[in-house]
Amino acid sequence: MIRYAIWRLLATIPTLIGINLVTFVVLNLSMKSPDPLDAELSGAASGRVRLLGLHLPLFINLSIDDARARAQSEIAKLGSDRAFREAERTIAKAGGAWLPYILPRLPNISSHQRERALNALDLVARRIGLNQALSVSLDRAAFWERFWQTHGSDFKPVRAARLVRRLIKREDRLAETELRQLDTFSLPQLMAALDEEIPIASKVRIITLIEDITGLYDPIIPTASQEEQAATLERWRFWWWERKDRYTVFEGYRNITGAFTETRYFKWLERMVTLDFGVSVRDGRPILTKLAERLPVTVTLSLLALLFAYGLAIPLGVVSAVRRGGLFDRATTVALFILYAFPAFWMAALLMRYFAGTGYYDALPAEGLVRSSADLWVWWRRLPDLFWQLFLPVFCLSFVPMAMLTRYQRVGMLQVINLDFMRTARAKGLSRTNVILRHGLRNGVIPVVTMAGLQIPYIVSGSVVIERIFGIPGMGYETFEALKAHDQPWLMAVVTVTAIVTLFGVVAADVVYALIDPRIAPGFRQGGRP
């Protein structure tokens, strides 16, 4: 049976790939391309980032749009009377990262392009501290030519990395000044330093410098908790993950592999494999941290709803099948059809109105996961309180699956009751109850067991509304808020996690099915032994 379970898990890999691809296509169809100007440096590092790689091709990138290619493209736009102002702003925002690909070309472009490029470079000079020297220069083009002849060798990744190492070791004003002069050219080395295990004081210096260079504000506070510091670092990593191709150049093997790695689908797949969903647009917190908080709540709620549905559906279905056509069967059928027709949110509102403290019967709690005083209780007292708090939401999530599963269980038992082996067991002297429970139920429950995995997506999707109504801080509640805020990273994570949980649910249902009926397991022979 273990071998069968492993085989079923491996068989889900193509399904996961298919789900990944479909989810990627659907989300990309729902997203709008960003404004090309705001895409350069807009969007605070606090998480208000909505690019998600939309500037990249879908599957193959035959022309990698790195810093060199972008600089050349914007220089060409400077010759257009319609696009030159946008090109000027883009060059000014790109800053020092593009200087190695713009300054050497100044003598070789037209006078119109050169004048407009110099206008953009005036803003760059202000950022890197050259505005005073430039203001007294009679020839701006000659000034930049002298600047590049003198400082061109400074714009090397090795030098930027060396300056960053000095800044990490101690508070080095000279290194900080030289990195400011390099401007955005030093961003790759500064961002790489944030991935290292360095003291918090060093991270503060690095992020402060990044803020000055980019114009964004998301400081790391030394006195903050480790979780808050980690969230800040994750927001900066996510910001850089979205924009690093704008400030780096793809050379050598990276130019070849970039045809596949610099695409929307690869970056999507990279995040799925590493479970790195970035940061939430709604509150700027890392998605993985929020999932770790919210997912256990929703899983607990869903499992309780599933157990409640099966715990009622199986006995009701069996009794209805045994008493087919009787009063119990007819009454159960009518009641289940009525329940099946009720929307879960309407049932939740109805139950809250009559049973949750609105003036009728104040018997059950109206919202929340635990009482405010429950933290002081011992665990054996908190456990019953948890079930009491979750009674209404669990019922609202489970009554529709329960109604459907009861009908499946009834049909499954009706197919089994009149089979030969049931009559043979009865003829051997076994009681009717014994025959039903020991022989009939094992075969009649198979259709219901196969439905277990398919109930998971329904219950998880239903939790979006139910958790919001009852104020339960789970994944569904957060998804409801994310839909209002257009929080694409969170929705991407929820779809992925729900697909994975559903697949594991289907595999678990298949394993239980194989335990009930070993004939479906690989290697089974008619003789009864695998």
Check residue 198 and report its DSSP letter. -
**318 and 443 co-located in one domain:** yes
**356 and 426 co-located in one domain:** yes
Domain finish residue from 105, 137, 154: 154
In a domain, 254, yes or no: no
Structure tokens at 263: 């695409």
pTM (2 d.p.): 0.70
Determine the Cα–Cα distance for residues 387 and 152; give it in Å rounded to an integer.
69
**336 and 469 co-located in one domain:** yes
Structure tokens at 287: 């998605």
In a domain, 17, yes or no: no
- Based on its alpha-carbon atoms, the radius of gyration of the chain, rounded to whole angstroms, reads 32
**Would you place residue 347 in the very low, low, confident or very high pLDDT band (cuts 50, 70, 90)?**
confident
In a domain, 231, yes or no: yes
Determine the Cα–Cα distance for residues 500 and 13; give it in Å rounded to an integer.
10
Whether the per-residue pLDDT at 99 is higher than 90: the answer is: yes
Give residue-wise pLDDT tens across range 164-217: 999 999 999 999 999 999 999 999 999 999 989 999 999 999 999 999 999 899
Under the phi-then-psi rule, with left for phi > 0, alpha for psi from -120 to 50, and beta for the rest, what region is 134?
alpha
pLDDT reported for residue 72: 92
**85 and 204 co-located in one domain:** no
Most confident of 370-379, 422-431, 480-489: 480-489
CA angle 400, 402, 403 (to 5 degrees): 65
Contact criterion met (CB below 8 Å) for 187 and 98:
no
CB atoms within 10 A of CB 73: 12
Residues 39-64: what's their mean pLDDT? 59
Lowest model confidence (mean pLDDT) among 11-25, 353-367, 373-387, 396-410: 373-387
Which parts of 1-45 are beta strand (E)? none
3-state secondary structure at position 281? coil
Give which of 178, 151, 157 is closest to 167, Cα–Cα. 178
In a domain, 34, yes or no: no
**186 and 321 co-located in one domain:** no
Residues 346-350: what's their mean pLDDT? 83
Determine the Cα–Cα distance for residues 235 and 281; give it in Å rounded to an integer.
10
Look at the block and give the residue holding tokens 């509304």. 465
3-state secondary structure at position 279? strand
Determine the Cα–Cα distance for residues 322 and 329; give it in Å rounded to an integer.
9
Task: Report CA dihedral (150, 152, 153, 159) to the nearest 10 degrees.
Answer: 120
pLDDT reported for residue 461: 82
pLDDT reported for residue 243: 84
Determine the Cα–Cα distance for residues 277 and 492; give it in Å rounded to an integer.
8
**321 and 407 co-located in one domain:** yes
**The domain containing residue 359 runs over which residues?**
305-473
pLDDT reported for residue 266: 86
Determine the Cα–Cα distance for residues 138 and 119; give it in Å rounded to an integer.
14
Determine the Cα–Cα distance for residues 516 and 439; give it in Å rounded to an integer.
11
Contact criterion met (CB below 8 Å) for 298 and 474:
yes
**Beta carbons within 8 Å of 386's beta carbon, 6+ residues apart:** 369, 370, 374
**129 and 161 co-located in one domain:** no
CATH number of the domain bearing residue 404: 1.10.3720.10
**315 and 398 co-located in one domain:** yes
In a domain, 181, yes or no: yes
Most confident of 22-31, 196-205, 269-278, 423-432: 196-205
Structure tokens at 188: 């790759």
Structure tokens at 347: 């049932």
**What residues does 362 pair with on adjacent strands?**
356
Look at the block and give the residue holding tokens 């002849």. 149
Kindly state the percentage of the chain with pLDDT values over 70.
87
Whether the per-residue pLDDT at 41 is higher than 50: the answer is: no
**130 and 165 co-located in one domain:** no
The DSSP string of 242-275 is: HHGGGS----THHHHHHHHHSSHHHHHHHHHHHT
Residues 429-456: what's their mean pLDDT? 78
pLDDT reported for residue 200: 92
Give residue-wise pLDDT tens across range 224-273: 888 889 889 988 988 898 888 889 998 888 888 888 888 888 887 887 77
Domain finish residue from 473, 507, 523: 473
In a domain, 24, yes or no: no
**Would you place residue 423 in the very low, low, confident or very high pLDDT band (cuts 50, 70, 90)?**
confident
Whether the per-residue pLDDT at 9 is higher than 90: the answer is: no
Burial of 410 (0-12, 13-18, 19+ CB in 10 A): buried
Q: Which residue has the higher pLDDT, 180 or 49?
A: 180
Q: What's the number of domains the chain is made of?
A: 3
* Measured CA distances, 525 to 2, 305, 382, 514, 522 (Å): 17, 38, 50, 14, 9
**Would you place residue 470 in the very low, low, confident or very high pLDDT band (cuts 50, 70, 90)?**
confident
What single letter denotes the amino acid at residue 314? I
**Would you place residue 520 in the very low, low, confident or very high pLDDT band (cuts 50, 70, 90)?**
low
Mean pLDDT, the chain, integer: 82
Q: Which residue has the higher pLDDT, 6 or 296?
A: 296
Domain finish residue from 423, 455, 473: 473
Give residue-wise pLDDT tens across range 354-370: 777 665 676 666 666 66
**78 and 216 co-located in one domain:** no
**219 and 350 co-located in one domain:** no
Look at the block and give the residue holding tokens 């030394």. 222
Lowest model confidence (mean pLDDT) among 90-99, 137-146, 337-346: 337-346
Contact criterion met (CB below 8 Å) for 454 and 508:
no
In a domain, 39, yes or no: no
In a domain, 469, yes or no: yes
pLDDT reported for residue 145: 93
Exposure of 253 in the CB half-sphere (CA atoms within 13 A)? 0
**362 and 430 co-located in one domain:** yes
Determine the Cα–Cα distance for residues 21 and 15; give it in Å rounded to an integer.
10
Determine the Cα–Cα distance for residues 191 and 260; give it in Å rounded to an integer.
23
